[in-house]
């Protein structure tokens, strides 16, 4: 597979190219693309050869894949071919204090104030007794409406430039 493309994707790309270029211009476009790839390959090969000449004879066998950091570490640090064992962790868990249970059991529905058999994950969130009670929003709406009506009744002189839009300036 070319560039990890599935055969279906390659066929779809060929059909799209056929529709875009048409049957008359498609062979010419494919030929130009192939010539362009050959030129690009030649330029890259020349650049690689130039780098090798500049680095000297000791780097003649250098490949660009070897410059990958993972490959570099694998090659230079693990040259003997033996697998690397990670060091032991610095922190080791100590013994548990005496009297601590192996695990803490989940509270039952009765302990959570629920009916037996109810889903404990759907339990209501307990409220803090020190927090103030929830406000009644219906009582707050009447003064707000009244305040908006009274402020609309009072007319004041408009500020200078208040009626001018930004794009008119």
Q: Would 22 be classed as within a structural domain? A: yes
Q: Would 60 be classed as within a structural domain? A: yes
Q: Which two tokens stand for residue 169?
A: 């300036």
> CA 61, CA 57: separation in Å to the nearest integer?
9
Q: Report the number of distinct structural domains present in the chain.
A: 1
Query: Which residue, 53, 82, 79, 50, is CA-closest to 66?
Result: 79
Q: Would 59 be classed as within a structural domain? A: yes
Q: Which two tokens stand for residue 144?
A: 């707000």
**In this predicted structure, what is the pLDDT of residue 130?**
60
**In this predicted structure, what is the pLDDT of residue 8?**
92
**In this predicted structure, what is the pLDDT of residue 1?**
43
Q: Would 139 be classed as within a structural domain? A: no
Q: Would 25 be classed as within a structural domain? A: yes
> CA 51, CA 64: separation in Å to the nearest integer?
11
Strand positions, DSSP E, the chain: none
**In this predicted structure, what is the pLDDT of residue 78?**
65
Structural domain of residue 27, as residue ranges? Answer: 2-77
* Buried residues in 135-149 as b, exposed as e (16+ CB within 10 A): eeeeeeeeeeeeeee
Per-residue pLDDT of the chain (169 residues; tens, 9 = 90+): 457 788 899 899 889 988 898 989 999 999 999 999 999 999 999 988 888 888 888 777 777 676 778 877 777 776 666 666 777 878 777 777 787 777 777 777 777 777 877 777 777 776 665 655 555 555 555 555 555 555 555 555 555 555 555 555 4
Q: Would 96 be classed as within a structural domain? A: no
């Amino acid at each position: 597979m070319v560039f990890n493309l599935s055969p279906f994707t390659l066929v779809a790309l060929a059909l799209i190219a056929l529709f875009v270029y048409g049957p008359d211009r498609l062979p010419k476009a494919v030929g130009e693309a192939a010539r362009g790839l050959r030129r690009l390959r030649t330029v890259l090969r020349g650049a690689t050869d130039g780098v090798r000449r500049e680095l000297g004879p000791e780097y003649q066998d250098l490949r660009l894949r070897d410059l990958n950091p993972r490959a570099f570490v694998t090659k230079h640090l693990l040259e003997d071919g033996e697998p690397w064992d990670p060091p032991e962790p610095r922190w080791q868990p100590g013994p548990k204090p005496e009297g601590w249970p192996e695990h803490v059991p989940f509270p039952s529905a009765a302990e959570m104030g629920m009916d037996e058999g109810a889903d404990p994950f759907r339990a209501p969130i307990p409220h803090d007794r020190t927090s103030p009670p929830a406000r009644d929003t219906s009582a707050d709406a009447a003064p707000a409406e009244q305040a908006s009506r009274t402020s609309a009744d009072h007319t004041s002189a408009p500020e200078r430039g208040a009626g001018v839009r930004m794009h008119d300036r």
